[in-house]
């Protein structure tokens, strides 16, 4: 089969053996990663050039942009968004490094919880595909050298890893904290410094420079871009991380100059960064104050500065918010703290709790006349998703408080629907008794008399019923490009952002997509598919569900034909080839 020309476009795109292409691209990424680890820049450049010319990589990049991306239907200045199969193949054939990029389209979106707007720069679909291809080549090189305590916009790492790093840093000793935020990080990065840090081969450097200098169209007005990398581009988060690379090492250099053993001083000075938010922790306030001045000077060199309103020095006994969590230590008796005299509690911040409740209340207000079952179906995913995200921290009291507020709100919802009935009648109509099955035969049954429900299987879950599960921090030396299938599959199953049901399905499927047979990766968009559609009487039980990639889910609904890669999955030689 021809690689680009000679296709029957409408049919051939859907028949492509994506498993084979994904394996080809990932094997090349692993080689780039290992060469970068060795410090062999000549091999890295050679492999990156191969990636940029690879038909397999171009196909994967175009699919990421046009099928796997939730923003796939957002147009750039050319107005193009949803593509046909024929247009996708044409795009693959036309991806060239030397084509001049077009300006990005400026879109203003609301910042959550504030009366401010954030500018996004939306590239054309051509530039997005080329950026996705470039990211396939650049990301493995930089993942091999990125600093260990950088967690934002990196595959296999999340804010939960950052929070767990903070917990481990202060659990044995109270510390002073520099809590800081970089002002307009994406908009102010110095282009020359960024390109110098990239230190890549000439044609790649020209390509990225052209993206940075492409300009922005805001309401039909062209604005040149002499600094910054536009938020909204596929490669922008990676470029921002590259620009901020070296901040942690600068702090470690300062730690080695402090009195005492160098290794102990480096370990005692904790640094955690998530994108443009970072914190520095040390037992001495003077050391933290010096770190603040060092960071200010370091940021000046790349054209950035700290945001005064979001930069402060505080103590862990006073507490502070970071990434939506409140981190604070409390003085307690020695019997409550293993003789330390304090305990560390990390819980959802008041701001995030308020936002969550207001979202629930808005759904209830918008469904005043809806059936109870419809209201439950709207509230359930919001509650379970938020609880899963926060279950790794000490959230029990907050969960119980939310249940109390939600119960009161739902009672008002019920009383309004039946103004001529008594409160007892309303409560008996909408609330029932649920008996929980004991986990062990010798345990007593748990009975809850206040459950918002229409039947045994259709009920509103309570926040407080979510068990607290401690998150295990990712190992500093690990990367999704190291090819350790077992390690990354296990982490995905147990991740706080993975729902309990999805985790069970993932374990049942051994971490693989039920349609294409490829192993899920941390950046993949995963959806649940009903084997028997709900319209035909199918249930939401695990036995009627399977996990698919977003694009595989789309393909499954287009056709009932089993893909060739799945039919041949029983071949042991093909399974051994899977590098994920």
- Give residue 120's pLDDT: 83
The reported pLDDT for the residue numbered 575 is 29
**Reading across the β-sheet that carries 325-331, which strands appear in turn?**
320-322, 325-331, 342-348
Residues 515, 420 within the same domain: no
Query: Is residue 329's pLDDT more than 80?
Result: yes
Q: How does the average pLDDT of the chain come out, rounded?
A: 85
pLDDT band of residue 202 (cuts 50, 70, 90) is very high
Reported as a single tens digit per residue, the pLDDT across 25-43 is 999 999 999 999 999 999 9
Q: Which of 291, 316, 346 is the last residue of a domain?
A: 346
Q: In the structure, what pLDDT confidence band is assigned to residue 113 with cuts at 50, 70 and 90?
A: low
Which of 346, 376, 398 represents a domain boundary (last residue)? 346
Same domain (yes/no): 169, 300:
yes
* 362 pLDDT tier (thresholds 50, 70, 90): very high
Task: Identify the domain containing residue 430 by its residue range.
Answer: 348-463
Q: Do residue 140 and residue 209 come from a single domain?
A: yes
Tell me whether residue 254 is in a domain.
yes
**Does residue 471 lie within any of the structural domains?**
no
Residue 535 lies in a domain: yes
Residue 507 resides in a domain: yes
Does the residue 395 lie in any domain?
A: yes
One domain, residues 281 and 150 = yes
Q: Provide the domain count of the chain.
A: 4
Confidence category of residue 96, pLDDT binned at 50, 70, 90: confident
Last residue of a domain, one of 410, 432, 463: 463
CATH for 175: 3.30.70.270
- Tell which phi-psi region holds residue 38, choosing left (phi > 0), alpha (psi between -120 and 50) or beta: alpha
Confidence at 530, pLDDT banded by 50, 70, 90: confident
- pLDDT confidence of residue 580: 35
Top pLDDT among 67 and 346 is at 346
- What mean pLDDT comes out for the span 546-571? 60
Are 102 and 248 in a shared domain? no
Give pLDDT, residue 336. Answer: 67
Q: Does residue 248 share a domain with residue 208?
A: no
Residues for the chain: how many in total? 580
CA 357 to chain centre: 22
- Whole-number percent of the chain with pLDDT over 90: 50
Q: Is residue 475 part of a domain?
A: no
* Statement: residue 438 has pLDDT above 90: no
Whether pLDDT at 456 is above 90:
no
CA-nearest of 474, 468, 469, 470 to 491 is 474
| Sequence-distant (≥ 6) Cβ neighbours of residue 182 within 8 angstroms | 244, 276, 277, 278, 299, 304, 305, 306, 307
261 and 394 together in one domain: no
| Residue 319 belongs to a domain | yes
Do 178 and 316 fall into the same domain? yes
pLDDT at 71 over 80: no
- pLDDT value of residue 167: 94
For residues 339-367, average pLDDT = 92
More confident residue, 156 or 519: 156
User: What DSSP assignment string belongs to 274-307?
Assistant: ETTEEEEEES-HHHHHHHHHHHHHHHHTTT--B-
209 plus 235 within the same structural domain: no
| Mean pLDDT of the region 183-201 | 91
In whole angstroms, what is the distance from residue 146 CA to residue 197 CA?
A: 12
Q: pLDDT digit string (tens) for 469-480?
A: 888 899 888 898
3-state secondary structure of 567: helix
Q: Kindly state whether residues 199 and 330 are assigned to the same domain.
A: no
Q: State the pLDDT at residue 114.
A: 67
Relative to beta strand 104-110, strand 216-218 is: parallel
Mean pLDDT value of segment 82-107: 85
Q: Quick one: which of 270, 389, 233, 243 has its CA closest to 323? A: 389
Do residues 522 and 455 both lie within one domain?
Answer: no
- The CATH number covering residue 531 comes to 1.10.30
Q: Given this model, what pLDDT does residue 562 score?
A: 45
Dump pLDDT digits (tens) for 212-230: 998 888 888 888 888 888 8
Same domain, 102 and 181: no
Answer whether residue 473 is part of any domain: no
> Quick check: helix, strand or coil at residue 11?
helix
């Amino acid at each position: 089969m021809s690689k680009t020309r000679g296709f029957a476009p409408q049919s051939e795109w859907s028949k492509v053996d994506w498993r084979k292409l994904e394996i080809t691209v990932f094997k090349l990424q692993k080689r780039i990663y290992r060469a970068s680890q060795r410090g062999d820049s000549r091999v890295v450049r050679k492999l990156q050039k191969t990636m940029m010319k690879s038909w397999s990589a171009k196909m994967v990049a175009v699919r990421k942009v046009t099928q796997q991306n939730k923003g796939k239907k957002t147009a750039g200045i050319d107005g193009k968004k949803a593509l046909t199969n024929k247009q996708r193949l044409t795009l693959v054939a036309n991806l060239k490094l030397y084509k001049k990029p077009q300006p990005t389209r400026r879109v203003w979106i609301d910042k959550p919880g504030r009366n401010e707007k954030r500018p996004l720069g939306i590239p054309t679909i051509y530039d997005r595909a080329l950026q996705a291809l470039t990211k396939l080549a650049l990301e493995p090189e930089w993942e091999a050298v990125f600093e260990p305590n950088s967690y934002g916009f990196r595959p296999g790492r999340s804010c939960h890893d950052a929070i767990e790093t903070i917990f481990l840093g202060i659990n044995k000793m109270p510390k002073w904290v520099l809590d800081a935020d970089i002002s307009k990080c994406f908009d102010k990065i110095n282009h020359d410094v960024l390109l110098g840090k990239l230190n890549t081969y000439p044609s790649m450097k020209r390509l990225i420079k052209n993206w940075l200098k492409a300009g922005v169209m805001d309401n039909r007005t062209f604005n040149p871009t002499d600094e910054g990398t536009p938020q909204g581009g596929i490669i922008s988060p990676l470029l921002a991380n590259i620009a901020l690379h070296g901040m942690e090492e600068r702090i470690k250099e300062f730690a080695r100059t402090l009195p005492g053993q160098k290794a102990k001083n480096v370990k005692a000075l904790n640094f955690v960064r998530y994108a443009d938010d970072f914190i520095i922790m040390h037992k001495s306030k003077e050391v933290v104050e010096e770190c603040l001045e060092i960071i200010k000077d370091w940021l000046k060199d790349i054209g950035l500065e700290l945001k005064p309103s979001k930069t402060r020095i505080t103590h862990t006994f006073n507490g502070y918010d970071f990434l939506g969590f409140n981190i604070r230590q409390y003085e307690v008796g020695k019997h409550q703290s293993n003789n330390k005299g304090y305990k560390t509690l990390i819980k959802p911040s008041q701001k995030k709790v308020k936002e969550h409740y207001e979202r629930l209340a808005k759904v209830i207000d918008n469904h005043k006349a809806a059936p109870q079952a419809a209201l439950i179906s709207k509230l359930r995913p919001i509650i379970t998703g938020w609880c899963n995200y926060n279950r790794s921290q000490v959230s029990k009291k907050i969960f119980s408080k939310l249940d109390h507020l939600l119960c009161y709100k739902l009672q008002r919802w019920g009383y309004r629907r039946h103004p001529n009935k008594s409160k007892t009648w309303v409560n008996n109509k909408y609330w029932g008794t649920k008996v929980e099955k004991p986990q062990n035969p010798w345990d007593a049954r748990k009975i809850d008399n206040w459950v918002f429900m229409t039947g045994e299987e259709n009920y509103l879950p309570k926040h407080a019923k979510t068990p607290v599960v401690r998150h295990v921090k990712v190992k500093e030396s690990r990367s999704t490009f190291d090819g350790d299938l077992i390690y990354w599959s296990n982490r995905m199953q147990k991740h706080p952002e993975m729902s309990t049901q999805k985790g069970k399905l993932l374990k049942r499927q051994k971490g693989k997509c039920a349609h294409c047979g490829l192993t899920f990766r941390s950046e993949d968009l995963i959806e649940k598919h009903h084997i028997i559609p709900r319209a035909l009487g199918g249930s939401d039980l695990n036995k009627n569900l399977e996990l698919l990639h977003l694009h595989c889910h789309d393909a499954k609904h287009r056709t009932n034909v089993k893909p060739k890669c799945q039919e041949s999955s029983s071949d042991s030689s093909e399974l051994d080839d899977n590098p994920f």
